[in-house]
Homo-oligomer: A and B are copies of this chain.
Amino acid sequence: MASPRPFDEGRMTSDIQIARQARKKPILEVAEGLGLSGEDILPYGHDKAKISHAAVTRVGQQPSGHLILVTAISPTPAGEGKTTTTVGLGDALNRIGKRATICIREASLGPNFGMKGGAAGGGRAQIVPMEEMNLHFTGDFHAITSAHNLLAAMIDNHIYWGNQLGIDTRRISWRRVMDMNDRALRDMVVGLGGSTNGFPRQTGFDITVASEVMAILCLSRDLGDLQDRLGRIVIGYDMERRPVTAADLQADGAMTVLLKDALQPNLVQTLENNPALVHGGPFANIAHGCNSVIATRTALAMSDYVVTEAGFGADLGAEKFLDIKCRLAGLTPSAVVLVATIRALKMNGGVAKADLAQEDAASVRRGCANLGRHIENLRAFGLPVVVALNHFDADQESELSEVSRFCAMQGVKMIVARHWAEGGAGATDLAREVVNLVERGETGFQTLYGDEIPLWDKIETICRRIYRASGVEPAPGVQAQLEAWERAGHGHMPVCIAKTQYSFSTDPARLGAPEDHVVPVREVRLNAGAGFVVAICGDIMTMPGLPRTPAAENIGLDGKGQVEGLF
């Protein structure tokens, strides 16, 4: 998401105007820069393409490049510019002579019709074509919707035709999905209207990015792995409380067929014509919030450097990137860029939203407690860290000095990054420091916990070591459920914690570096296909609603056939 620029209104050029002025290369030329031929890609129009399964297989998935993670401190509601920094750093690495590829997530369609949204990066650090990426793009999310809902239809159809598997219609956890903000679909009774329509039961829809199929697509190494994972999806339980899987319903093959094109990574470009793979987009709360493993591995095989990001702040996004994605995909990151803004530091230092524009070095200093804790956490994974201060015009010298001084005390460099205003040229200092960290080779990446410890201990480890909770409280039945899954052979899985992104605690109002907080684990869910256990620690919305005045009301085509109101 683009950084918020409240002082932006009077500027000559908005993100979308910059994006439209981009001199895009034909996508084939971008592909050729990666060593790919016209045969290796499947064009979608002239400015986007998929890299074919054959090419993905041929270039090999032996990661040879260096993987750089861009993450952030605890954010303001508008985000701190992780994507912008990811793009700017990628462009800057190319400027200083490294072959760098960017890997980010795809955007969800539905939310664009609620709040004005969209964009992939911002200012002069963007990925294009912006409009297509915020609409149907190459159809991946539609394919995920279809595959998810085919399984749902096969469940009700199985029950309709006699329920040979003995599925307990009260214990079906597989809902349906739609890439739309539609609160009316959260909770419903289907199968009404008489016996020809099946057995009535209560269920609902989630938004597509919340689908386990999305998480599976993003963690699969190839089509075979994809089908195996789809087959392992647990859709619910039978009358003897045994799990029923997608493979039991023989849905895994057809779901794989629906997803075979979607599994191919999408190639687009930055404003500076550098390659970007934009592929997959799982939720960052109930899922791991990273782009696809297949895109990351393919990019690593074709580049010196791959710059990628993870959702939310580092407590959630980086932890999941490292403990879920890197663990399951066998990836070893080389360095972490921790994005901070003066705004977010002030907010974490206790400044009210209305006062963020005022110079306030003391609050920035207080807010650095948040930054410091994220630095400590990332070091616990054995990774070198650099702080990227994403520069805004309103930033004051006194404020920047506070951050710089704090970082120096932590033994970490802080680099002011001006990619939003200047493109890659504004982030070459950052790029040089990243190369520096990587070439010094002081990385000793390790996950936070081993596969072998009990699931509950994994939850406790994250809560205590990353969130610094003084306690972790399971709701009744949670621990028994985890033990049951361990007995069923799922104990080796990592855990994915769903909680607020605004605080280390589960209370979004406790900013800074809160201590003495207790994490309540309300519910646990098994994503046997994706390969992780979800621990729900807070109110998690899996189907958003539209606001009173949806952005959709102002979206349309202008006289030239260009989209208005989407950005």
Contacts and interface: CB of A to CB of B under 8 A. Distances in A.
Given A135-B258, A149-B180, 8 more contacts: A43-B44, A44-B45, A139-B142, A153-B180, A157-B546, A187-B192, A189-B192, A196-B545
Contacts of A243: none
Contact of A250 (B154, B249, B258, B552): B552
Given A227-B557, A557-B253, A198 B180 contact: no
Contacts of A557: 223, 227, 253, 256-257, 260
A180 B150 contact: yes
A434 interface: no
Interface string A100-131: 00000000010001000000000000000000
B154 A550 contact: yes
Interface stretch (A399-407, A461-469, A502-510, A559-567): A559-567
A484 interface: no
A206 interface: no
A329 interface: no
A254 interface: yes
Identical chains bound together, number: 2
Contacts of A328: none
A182 B552 contact: no
Contacts of A204: 193
Given A160-B545, A550-B154, A189 B188 contact: yes
Interface string A220-256: 0001000100000000000000000000011111101
A10 to B, nearest CB: 26
Contacts of A183: 156-157, 160, 196-198
Nearest to A256: B557
Contacts of A198: 183-184
Interface of A: 42-46, 53, 109, 113, 135-136, 139, 142-143, 145-146, 149-150, 152-154, 156-157, 160-161, 176, 178-193, 196-198, 202, 204, 223, 227, 249-254, 256-258, 260-261, 545-546, 548, 550-557, 561, 563-566
Nearest to A262: B136
B182 A152 contact: yes
Contacts of A556: 227, 252-254, 256-257
Contacts of A145: 142
A9 to B, nearest CB: 23
B550 A157 contact: yes
5 closest A-B pairs (Cβ-Cβ)? A253-B556, A187-B193, A142-B142, A156-B184, A254-B552
Contacts of A256: 556-557
A189 B186 contact: no
Contacts of A197: 183-184, 186-187
B250 A157 contact: no
B554 A253 contact: yes
A389 to B, nearest CB: 37
B257 A563 contact: yes
Contacts of A545: 157, 160, 196
